[in-house]
């Protein structure tokens, strides 16, 4: 037992030096804050910035609030704001430039010797019903006019034709309706020559002027085609005078613009027009490299049930081959198949030629640029970069700076009534035109919100979204599938189909007008003058009066005037002619009037009877 005690005693002795060493291993608090070099990209979320400066997100948000910046953990900050926050916290901010798309997709500089002549790209522009589609129809010798609803070209199309002199010309047909302004502007940017169609019997109209402005802004030469010269009331000189005011001066007047007189109906002068286009193309010396990766522009896109996302493209440079990897806006893919304007499958597309392609990840936007390469990795990298940028832009647009003043203002002001809409169209161009036009509808009391717009038929998910957001569904040249129709019928959702943009716009305006509260207009219908005042135990003061103007009706509101000043507003309690209760008394007749809850009526006062009329308001 003694030995055991000794052992225990020895153990205690061994441990004692360790106890004395512990104070030397304790952590000391830093005397100065740690300064960091923080790399800041073009945009960064609050959460990511907190990690970079090594603080918790709530702490960073607190610092930001002190600086007057209100943002949540997932919101994006721009580079300048993030730099200020980092410097406020005592760190050094280093601006980081994003890898540009150009650096990822390095292309060889163009060799001028390898450039080859290409077909001119001609855009036909003009006012609604001035004969653009009829002209193109005559040139192509096919009947596409009958397929256009209401005589309006609903979306842009590209077609190639060969003239009598074996010269290829690519035509773009743009809609003439006011809603398609953006499409016409885009058509002017990708074209070489603009053919401005003006009806000889109608003259220069708003869309004609707009087309001239687009052409002049893009510095694209104009050829004026004065159409409908076969009509009796045609006046070509009037059009020349009107256009000269817009700085479009004919060649015979010393200007630079070619004017040709045509009839799209009979074909008169159309060959001269094509010769003029060929001549203008020769002057422009249009050339492009045929070899190398292709670049181009999306003219139209849609969602095909059998083929998936399809896009009509126009090649600007290089050659696009089947199975090439392509980047179109933020969409990417591999060319699965290509078709010409006659729906024949083709293997390659050269500069100045249109084609329909399949194989994209989703429907691209009209006007998106197309690039081709053999490197799939690069394409996917840029597509993801563009998609993340787009999401950041959308998030920043949705962020609303909150302030007490703004909150109070929103509470005190009259609440605006908003109608939600979900829009599905057949093609991207129509979708863009409709949403742009609807967003231009402005009113102080009512407004609209487009919760979703897209291309393709109306599906079950579209209807569910419309139901949860209490939105009205609009289908433009598309229909709802069977499952979607079942949900619409069972829940009595609002669904309307349209094929003409005029009708769609009118319908939406009508629906919004229905939400407007009517204006109240007051109309004085009669005036009675008090001649004497009697006292009644039942009604109090009774005014013996003479109706001097109009008619006095018992059911209408009244005002009591003394020296032309309103002293009381209310209603009549009694209206009598001799001892009989009457509903109305006409001008030049005596009557007894009892004013409800008012006894201070005197001789010489006037009792004004008025009617409130509701007037419907419209947008």
> Could you report the per-residue pLDDT of 418-436, keeping only the tens digit for each?
899 999 998 888 888 888 8
143: pLDDT strictly greater than 60:
no
236: pLDDT strictly greater than 60:
yes
Per-residue pLDDT at 523: 92
Per-residue pLDDT at 352: 85
- pLDDT tier for residue 599 given thresholds of 50, 70 and 90: confident
- pLDDT tier for residue 189 given thresholds of 50, 70 and 90: low
Residues 6+ apart with CB under 8 A from 617: 513, 516, 517, 518, 519
Per-residue pLDDT at 146: 39
Measured distance CA(245)–CA(207) in Å, rounded: 16
Residues 6+ apart with CB under 8 A from 178: 206, 207, 437
Take residue 596 and report the two structure tokens written for it: 């409800």
Measured distance CA(154)–CA(430) in Å, rounded: 7
Measured distance CA(172)–CA(124) in Å, rounded: 6
Residues composing the chain:
619
Measured distance CA(399)–CA(281) in Å, rounded: 49
Per-residue pLDDT at 293: 85
Q: What is the mean pLDDT of residues 149-169?
A: 63
What 3-state class would DSSP assign to 217?
Answer: helix
- pLDDT tier for residue 392 given thresholds of 50, 70 and 90: low
Rounded CA Rg of the chain: 38
Of 128, 95, 102, 92, nearest to 202 by C-alpha is 128
10: pLDDT strictly greater than 50:
no
pTM: 0.60
Higher pLDDT, 31 or 320: 320
204: pLDDT strictly greater than 50:
yes
Per-residue pLDDT at 394: 60
Q: What is the mean pLDDT of residues 520-528?
A: 92
Q: What is the mean pLDDT of residues 449-478?
A: 89
| % of residues, the chain, pLDDT over 90 | 14
Per-residue pLDDT at 561: 94
- pLDDT tier for residue 393 given thresholds of 50, 70 and 90: low
Per-residue pLDDT at 6: 45
Helix (H) or strand (E) holding 593: strand 590-595
Q: What is the mean pLDDT of residues 352-377?
A: 84
Measured distance CA(453)–CA(433) in Å, rounded: 11
Q: What is the mean pLDDT of residues 338-344?
A: 81
Determine phi and psi for 524, rounding to 5 degrees: -75, 125
Per-residue pLDDT at 504: 92
Arithmetic mean of pLDDT over the chain: 79
- pLDDT tier for residue 401 given thresholds of 50, 70 and 90: very low
Per-residue pLDDT at 479: 92
User: What single-letter DSSP state applies at residue 24?
Assistant: G
Domains, in order of start, for the chain: 37-95 (1.10.10.2480), 114-288 (3.40.50.300), 290-390 (2.40.30.10), 417-515 (3.40.50.10050), 519-615 (2.40.30.10)
Measured distance CA(46)–CA(44) in Å, rounded: 7
Per-residue pLDDT at 386: 74
| Contact by Cβ (8 Å): 320, 354 | no
607: pLDDT strictly greater than 90:
yes
102: pLDDT strictly greater than 60:
no
Take residue 187 and report the two structure tokens written for it: 């058509």
Q: What is the mean pLDDT of residues 394-410?
A: 49
126: pLDDT strictly greater than 90:
no
Determine phi and psi for 189, rounding to 5 degrees: -75, -30
Take residue 545 and report the two structure tokens written for it: 């009066």
Q: Among 142-146, 323-327, 580-584, whose mean pLDDT is lowest?
A: 142-146
Measured distance CA(172)–CA(159) in Å, rounded: 7
Per-residue pLDDT at 151: 44
């Amino acid at each position: 037992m003694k030995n055991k005690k000794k052992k225990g005693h020895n153990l205690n002795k061994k441990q004692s030096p360790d106890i004395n060493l512990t104070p030397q291993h304790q952590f000391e608090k830093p005397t100065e804050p740690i300064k960091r070099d923080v790399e800041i990209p073009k945009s960064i979320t609050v959460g990511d910035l907190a990690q970079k400066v090594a603080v918790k997100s709530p702490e960073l948000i607190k610092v930001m609030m002190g600086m007057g910046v209100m943002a949540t953990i997932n919101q994006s900050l721009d580079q300048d704001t993030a730099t200020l926050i980092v410097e406020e916290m005592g760190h050094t901010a280093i601006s980081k430039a994003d890898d540009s798309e150009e650096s990822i997709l390095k292309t060889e500089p163009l060799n001028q010797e390898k450039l080859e002549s290409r077909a001119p790209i001609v855009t036909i522009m003009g006012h609604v019903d001035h004969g653009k589609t009829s002209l193109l129809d005559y040139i192509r010798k096919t009947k596409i006019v009958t397929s256009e609803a209401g005589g309006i070209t609903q979306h842009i199309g590209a077609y190639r034709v060969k003239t009598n002199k074996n010269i290829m010309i690519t035509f773009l047909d743009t809609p003439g309706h006011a809603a398609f302004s953006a499409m016409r502007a885009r058509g002017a940017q990708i074209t070489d020559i603009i053919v401005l169609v003006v009806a000889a019997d109608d003259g220069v109209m708003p869309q004609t002027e707009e087309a001239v402005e687009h052409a002049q802004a893009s510095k694209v030469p104009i050829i004026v085609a004065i159409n409908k010269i076969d009509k009796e009331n045609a006046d070509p000189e009037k059009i020349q005078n009107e256009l000269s005011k817009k700085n479009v001066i004919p060649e015979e007047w010393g200007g630079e613009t070619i004017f040709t007189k045509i009839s799209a109906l009979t074909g008169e002068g159309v060959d001269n027009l094509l010769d003029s286009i060929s001549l203008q193309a020769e002057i422009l010396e249009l050339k492009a490299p045929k070899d190398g990766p292709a670049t181009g522009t999306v003219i139209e896109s849609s969602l095909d049930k059998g083929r998936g996302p399809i896009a009509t493209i126009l090649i600007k440079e290089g050659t696009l081959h089947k199975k090439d990897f392509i980047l179109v806006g933020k969409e990417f893919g591999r060319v699965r198949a290509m078709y010409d304007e006659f729906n024949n499958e083709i293997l390659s597309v050269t500069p100045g030629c249109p084609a329909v392609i399949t194989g994209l990840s989703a429907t691209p936007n009209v006007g998106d640029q197309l690039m081709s390469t053999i490197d799939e990795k690069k394409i996917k990298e840029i597509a993801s970069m563009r998609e993340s940028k787009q999401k950041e832009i959308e998030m920043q647009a949705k962020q609303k700076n909150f302030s007490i003043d703004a909150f109070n203002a929103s509470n005190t002001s009259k609440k605006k009534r908003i109608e939600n809409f979900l829009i599905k169209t057949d093609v991207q161009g129509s979708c863009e035109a409709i949403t742009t036009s609807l967003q231009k509808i402005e009113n102080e009391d009512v407004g609209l919100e487009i919760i979703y717009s897209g291309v393709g038929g109306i599906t079950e998910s579209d209807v569910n979204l419309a139901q949860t957001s209490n939105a009205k569904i609009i289908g433009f040249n598309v229909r709802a599938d069977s499952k979607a129709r079942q949900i619409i019928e069972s829940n009595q959702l609002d669904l309307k189909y349209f094929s003409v943009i005029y009708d769609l716009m009118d319908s939406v305006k009508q629906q919004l007008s229905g939400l407007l509260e009517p204006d109240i207009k007051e109309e004085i219908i009669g005036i009675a003058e008090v001649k004497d005042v009697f006292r009644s135990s039942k009604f109090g003061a009774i005014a013996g009066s003479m109706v001097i103007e109009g008619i006095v009706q018992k059911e209408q509101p009244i005002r009591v005037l003394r020296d032309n000043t309103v002293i009381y507003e209310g209603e009549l309690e009694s209206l009598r002619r001799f001892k009989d209760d009457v509903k109305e008394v006409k001008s030049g007749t005596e009557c007894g009037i009892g004013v409800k809850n008012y006894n201070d009526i005197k001789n010489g006062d006037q009792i004004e009877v008025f009617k409130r009329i509701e007037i419907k308001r419209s947008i």
